Amino acid sequence: MFEILTKEMLTPIICRMKVSAPRLAAAAQPGQFLIVRADEKGERIPLTISDFDREEGTVTIVTQKIGASSTDIIAYEPGECFADVVGPLGLPSEFVEMPEEKLKQQRYILIAGGLGTAPVYPQAKWLKEHGVPVDVIIGAKTKDILIYTEEMAPVCDNLFICTDDGSYGFKGMGTNMLEHVVSEGHKYTQAVIIGPMIMMKFTTLTCKKLGIPAIVSLNTLMVDGTGMCGACRVSVGGKTRFACVEGPEFDGYEVDFDEAMRRQGQYRAEEAAAMEHHVCKIGRGK
Amino acid sequence: MANRIPRVAVREQDPKVRATNFEEVCYGYNREEAMLEASRCLHCKNPRCVSACPVNVQIPEFIAKVVEGDMQGAAAVIAKDSSLPAVCGRVCPQETQCEGSCILGVKGEPVAIGKLERFVADENLGKASAEVAPANGVKVAVVGSGPAGLACASDLAKWGYDVTIFEALHKAGGVLEYGIPEFRLPKDKVLKHEIEEVRKLGVKIETDVIIGKTVTIDSLMDQEGFKAVFIGSGAGLPKFMNIPGENLCGVFSANEFLTRNNLMKAWREDYLTPIHAGKKVCVVGGGNVAMDAARTALRLGAEVHIVYRRTEAELPARREEVHHAIEEGIIFDMLTNPVEVIGDEKGWVKALKCIRMELGEPDESGRRSPVPVEGSEFEIETETVIMALGTSPNPMISRTTAGLETNRRGCLIADESGATTRKGVFAGGDAVTGAATVILAMGAGRTAAKAIDEYIKNNY
């Protein structure tokens, strides 16, 4: 059983939890993800790893209340246990295994959208710790749903924050912010984009325009996360790849985002029905 | 005289009724039926059935106990060689193994060995008490809790080893849990108890540990003190056809479809798992997995077609499964091969474009190979396509273990005893052979257990 040690609501619908999972924490690397199954009747939900502490034996996950299963995950309190937490899954970020010579020449811009800000954090942290120049853009619709602004500042060189409605920081989307930053003279060798599929699609297009290579982290559907089900199939450069074992990070220029977005919504009708009949477990006691 | 009694028919759920539920198809024998059927055995001096069984269950010996009405004694005979009799009695291809070599089968019907094994196992579920040698304190790791891993772990535990099974999924059982449907192998009623028996021998099962990701074989051996490792990680990677439209919404691997339904229990209202079958489903393939996927889709309310490029005679699925599928109303579109999946404007499957096939010359497998009939393309309207084309081993372990070699097909290289190219590491089952049967995997697990025992005795 995997005990929840701490829990904070970062916004009314986004929750951060630190969970005890010693084996997983010992092996985790930036860019990887894990799967949580709250209880016997829950789904296996893939979540990015927002942080890990090998000594404590803990991993940090950030969840947004979307469907029935994520609602259940958020209902858990410290002291309670998830039935299953398994990982780390997927491949680590490219920079983790990059030769030092090459790494030294890089200047990273990490572009986060909404919940995607959480998995950007361990990447920025890793790059900063290894002395690689790294800037971060955090974008959100409004000020109320911005997360990780305080945590991010110390792990990057420049932090740029934007909101669609201008309620905090620069007024505009991540794409506008990126163009602005580049127009001010910042130069990057590599962008990493993590956020909703549609945001990754358009941010990749902006990167292409600006001539910056772009890596995206795909949050596809999956069941087992080990290559067994193939639900996570994505077309990358015209070839079918499994996001769970060959990803989750791919060259954004090569990803067929429209197909990926359609595939992500494959069970939307079934999930809407489940949500309708779902009995929320908040306050259910033990 | 005994062989004048006809083979005792087994009672089954009515096809029309069972097509709408997930209850077990076959009810199995009751005590009287089992004793009558058991009386048909000739007790051959040189029992061909025993040598045809991959784990060499002493078949005439356990059947003799059934004749006497000593079901516990019968179970004890089986337990010497098989750790999963209730499973094997249900899913083994007896017609090509024990029953296939029964002397009664030459002129008539063979003894219903599978159904007898099942009866004996069910009678004794949760009651078995295998002897366990005193603990020797030697740690052995088993990767995967499917049939190979369970069989290997059981034998080692009986000989006193300290065995831990590492399972990647959240539940033990491997393909028995995620692949084989409830209506062929009930999970809570049967499988759970057989796995519990393995635990009772002292075997620890650690779920949620992916070898090659969470921990490596190297760290198990170097840091956690395991003296030997058995890899029974199966063949879990689904194959696709690589035809246009395969990534449309509504195209699933049989693995995904079955895992959602079996492991994740999508068929039950009280589980959150979504599953999509729709009104009409085409299942591509002709093996047991294709039959399982088709019959599952049928039970979820769809009209189901099996699309297979050869004819019924070449179907690799067990005869019993094909027979059950036909009874339940599965439609077989033979000599038909998909060439493209056609989608609608929203990116969902609308039809499966196929080409007619005819049988040509026999290939290496001895089966006549299908050849496309030029210009015979046609479309089958369908909402869902399930690809059941076979599976291959997962490279996660071989890629992260130094010195562990694989062949061209990604299968681990192991000798007859199960020894791999890495010292102290053994392997068996689908991870070595590619997708095969439950009982062959169990046999390989037991062979490797012997080899591990010898290896430990010689080296420690």
Contact B247 A240 (CB under 8 A): yes
| Contact by Cβ (8 Å): B107, B78 | no
Q: Which residues lie below 8 Å from residue B368, measured CB to CB, with a gap of 6+?
A: B310, B314, B359, B360, B361, B362
DSSP assignment of B191-231 equals IHHHHHHHHHTT-EEE-S--BTTTB-HHHHHHTS--SEEEE
Distance (Å) of CA B11 to CA B7, B92, B124: 12, 18, 20
Q: Does B398 touch chain A (CB under 8 A)?
A: no
Q: In which residue are the tokens 């479809």 written?
A: B257
Our CA angle for A36, A37, A40, nearest 5°, is 165
How far is Cα A245 from Cα A4, in angstroms, rounded to an integer? 27
Nearest residue, CB atoms, A235 vs list B213, B247, B394: B247
Q: Does A94 touch chain B (CB under 8 A)?
A: no
Among candidates B231, B255, B251, which has minimal Cα distance to B180?
Answer: B255
Report helix, strand or coil for B48: helix
Nearest CA in chain B to A270: B274
Our CA angle for B153, B154, B160, nearest 5°, is 90
Q: Residue A254: count other Cβ atoms within 10 Å of its Cβ.
A: 16
Nearest CA in chain A to B392: A228
First-to-final CA distance of chain A: 15
A227: which chain B residues are within 8 Å (Cβ-Cβ)? 236-237, 394, 396
| Contact by Cβ (8 Å): B391, B236 | yes
Among candidates B82, B87, B116, which has minimal Cα distance to B99?
Answer: B116
A59: which chain B residues are within 8 Å (Cβ-Cβ)? none
Q: Does A286 touch chain B (CB under 8 A)?
A: no
pLDDT, residue B361, reads: 86
pLDDT higher than threshold 50 for residue A281 = no
How far is Cα A263 from Cα A241, in angstroms, rounded to an integer? 13
How close B189 gets to chain A, by Cα (Å)? 17
Our CA angle for B205, B79, B424, nearest 5°, is 50
B209: which chain A residues are within 8 Å (Cβ-Cβ)? 23, 86
How close B214 gets to chain A, by Cα (Å)? 6
Nearest CA in chain A to B252: A231
Q: What is the pLDDT along chain B (460 residues), one digit of tens a residue?
A: 445 799 999 999 999 999 999 999 999 999 999 999 999 999 999 999 999 999 999 999 999 999 999 999 999 999 989 889 999 999 999 999 999 999 999 999 999 999 999 999 999 998 866 788 999 999 999 999 999 999 999 999 999 999 999 999 999 999 999 999 999 999 999 999 999 999 999 999 999 999 999 999 999 999 999 999 999 999 989 999 999 999 999 999 999 999 999 999 999 988 888 999 999 999 999 999 999 999 999 999 999 999 999 999 999 999 999 999 999 999 999 999 999 999 999 999 999 999 999 998 888 878 788 999 999 999 999 999 999 999 999 999 998 999 999 999 999 999 999 999 999 999 999 999 998 999 999 999 999 999 999 999 999 8
A89: which chain B residues are within 8 Å (Cβ-Cβ)? 210, 213
Interval B378-422: pLDDT, tens: 999 999 999 999 999 999 999 899 999 999 999 999 999 999 999
The H or E element that residue B255 is part of is helix B254-261
Contact B394 A86 (CB under 8 A): no
Task: Quickly list H helices, B69-204.
Answer: 71-79, 85-91, 113-123, 147-158, 175-178, 192-200
Report helix, strand or coil for B411: coil
CA-CA-CA-CA torsion sign (B169, B171, B176, B177): negative
Q: Please write down the HEC assignment for all residues of A67-120.
A: CHHHHHHHCCCCCCEECEEEEEECCCCHHHHCCHHHHHCCCEEEEEEHHHHHHH
Among candidates B390, B389, B391, which has minimal Cα distance to B236?
Answer: B391
How close B297 gets to chain A, by Cα (Å)? 15
pTM of the predicted model as reported, rounded to 2 decimal places: 0.93
Nearest residue, CB atoms, A89 vs list B213, B247, B252: B213
How close A86 gets to chain B, by Cα (Å)? 5
Question: Strand A2-9 vs strand A14-20: parallel, antiparallel, or unpaired?
Answer: antiparallel
Interior/surface letters A45-65, b for 16+ CB within 10 angstroms, e for the rest: bbbbbbbbeeeebbbbbbbbb
Which residues 216-255 of chain B have a CB within 8 Å of chain A? 236-238, 240, 242, 246-247, 249-250, 252-253, 255
Q: Does B293 touch chain A (CB under 8 A)?
A: no
Q: Does A228 touch chain B (CB under 8 A)?
A: yes
Distance (Å) of CA A187 to CA A11, A50, A117, B178, B390: 33, 27, 21, 50, 49
Interval B152-198: pLDDT, tens: 999 999 999 999 999 999 999 999 999 999 999 999 999 999 999 99
pLDDT higher than threshold 80 for residue A120 = yes
β-partners of residue B371 are: B358
Q: Name the packing angle between helices A197-210 and A257-264 (round to 10°).
A: 170
Q: What percent of chain A is predicted at pLDDT more than 70?
A: 95
AA letter at A134:
V
Which residues 130-189 of chain B have a CB within 8 Å of chain A? 168-170, 178
